[in-house]
Amino acid sequence: RRTGHLAIYDEGAAQLIIAFGWDTRALHDTWSLDVATRQWTCLRGYHSTCLATPLVAPAGPPPLAYPATQMAGLYSFVFGGMTMNDWACPNGTLGRGFILSGTNDMWAMNLATFEWNSVQA
């Protein structure tokens, strides 16, 4: 189950955009729900049904959970959130885990192209 994601309703396109979030790890995907047909489409990510499955991580925010988001015209601005970093004990005897850390980065997603741009202060 996904939690801590961002949800954006694009009224002009009659679609709901869901991105990022958390299940057992921070997520790095973007989905669109066509409100009229109630059909989900994976726009970007590593799910087998995604339209764009990148060979390398796409430009844009890292996997995030609990970001703040605000729409302004053709853009959705995403700020902050929690990122996840893997760690392993130096001697390897205690296994692996992860550390959550906050970010103060801001990104803008173009709702027509689903491309991300970093917003600099």
DSSP string computed for 40-95: EEEEESSSTT-S---SSPPSS--SBBS-EEEEETTEEEEE--EEEEEEE-TTSSS-
pLDDT at 117 over 60: yes
Nearest alpha-carbon partner for 11 in 98, 84, 83, 76? 76
In sequence order, what are the residues at sequence separation of 6 or more whose Cβ sits closer than 8 angstroms to the Cβ of residue 51? 41, 42, 43, 44
Pick the more confident residue, 65 or 121.
65
Nearest alpha-carbon partner for 38 in 15, 17, 19, 8? 15
pLDDT at 102 over 70: yes
Q: How many CA atoms lie within 13 A of 20 on its CB side?
A: 24
pLDDT tens, residue by residue, 19-29: 988 887 778 88
Task: Pull the structure tokens for residue 116.
Answer: 């991300």
pTM: 0.74
pLDDT at 75 over 70: yes
